[in-house]
Amino acid sequence: MALGTNLGMNLGIEGKWALVCAASKGLGKGCAQALVGAGVNVVITARGAEALEATAAELRALGLAEVRTVAGDITTAAGRAAALAACPQVDILVNNAGGPPPGDFRTWDREVWVKAIDANMLTPIELIKSTVDAMAARGYGRVVNITSAAVKAPIDVLGLSNGARSGLTGFVAGLARSNIAGKGVTVNGLLPGAFDTDRLRTTVQAFAEKSGQDIEKVIHDRQRNIPAQRFGTAAEFGAVCAFICSVHAGYLTGQNILLDGGAYPGTF
């Protein structure tokens, strides 16, 4: 029996099928790795086929589960249909997509808002709509929405993210407590703080260039403000995701779990 490689613990989900969106890199990839480590078959998606196939090869090399790929934009109807069609059944749904750009809300028109809401609120809701009733009928299901620490502690320049992701969070708070809760289906949010991924590196690099600072100094300063004194890793993120998807977490639903090395300063 396969063990969760990151946890050394039998998660009890071997042989299940997971759809992990936006998973060629970063946090989505971390989730896919941990799920495959637990013997879960996965369909992984990303826009670019090359990075996606490279990740799939890494996952297949673990020799623990089936790995299928679907290249496409998950924020489009065609991208979602292709992803769903590749998955024999979706027992576990990990919702993820690129985050909206930073900026000043005074410059955002309706089109910009609709794009952000489409990607970070309506896309996960559409995928949930397509999968959750079948999960309930089978008596087991896990939905994990990758959102952001900005849902709990907003960042002013990330207004599009704050808005769209909070909309998703509000919607799933009701869904998680609906009749699916009594049928073995849980719905939770995973809120990343600062994780060492391509996205974080790009943001840090842009900030360093704009402020004329050395990138290593920018990284050092950011890490110093995190009680853990470092960025999180995709493997740590994936391990928590896999645990939420495990049989052990069946009583955990409607929650928003912050993974931020202690950066959020509140008691709760």
Q: Which residues bind ligand NAD (CB under 6 A)?
A: 22-28, 45-48, 73-75, 96-99, 146, 148-149, 192, 194-195, 197-200
**What's the closest the beta carbon of residue 238 comes to ligand NAD, in angstroms?**
11
Q: Where are the extended beta strands (E) located within 72-147?
A: 92-95, 141-146
- Quick one: 39 or 100, whose CB is closer to ligand NAD? 100
Query: Quick one: tokens of 264?
Result: 């959020």
- Quick one: 132 or 168, whose CB is closer to ligand NAD? 168
- Quick one: 13 or 23, whose CB is closer to ligand NAD? 23
**What's the closest the beta carbon of residue 222 comes to ligand NAD, in angstroms?**
10
- Quick one: 17 or 195, whose CB is closer to ligand NAD? 195
Helices and strands in the chain, H and E counts: 9, 7
Query: Quick one: tokens of 251?
Result: 């009583």
- Quick one: 14 or 53, whose CB is closer to ligand NAD? 53
- C-alpha 134/C-alpha 34 separation (Å) is 24
Q: Which residues contact 5 (CB under 8 A, 6 or more apart)?
A: 33, 34, 37, 38, 62
**What's the closest the beta carbon of residue 175 comes to ligand NAD, in angstroms?**
20
Q: Which residues contact 132 (CB under 8 A, 6 or more apart)?
A: 141, 143, 175, 180, 185, 187
**What's the closest the beta carbon of residue 212 comes to ligand NAD, in angstroms?**
23
Query: Quick one: tokens of 94?
Result: 């990990």
**What's the closest the beta carbon of residue 3 comes to ligand NAD, in angstroms?**
25
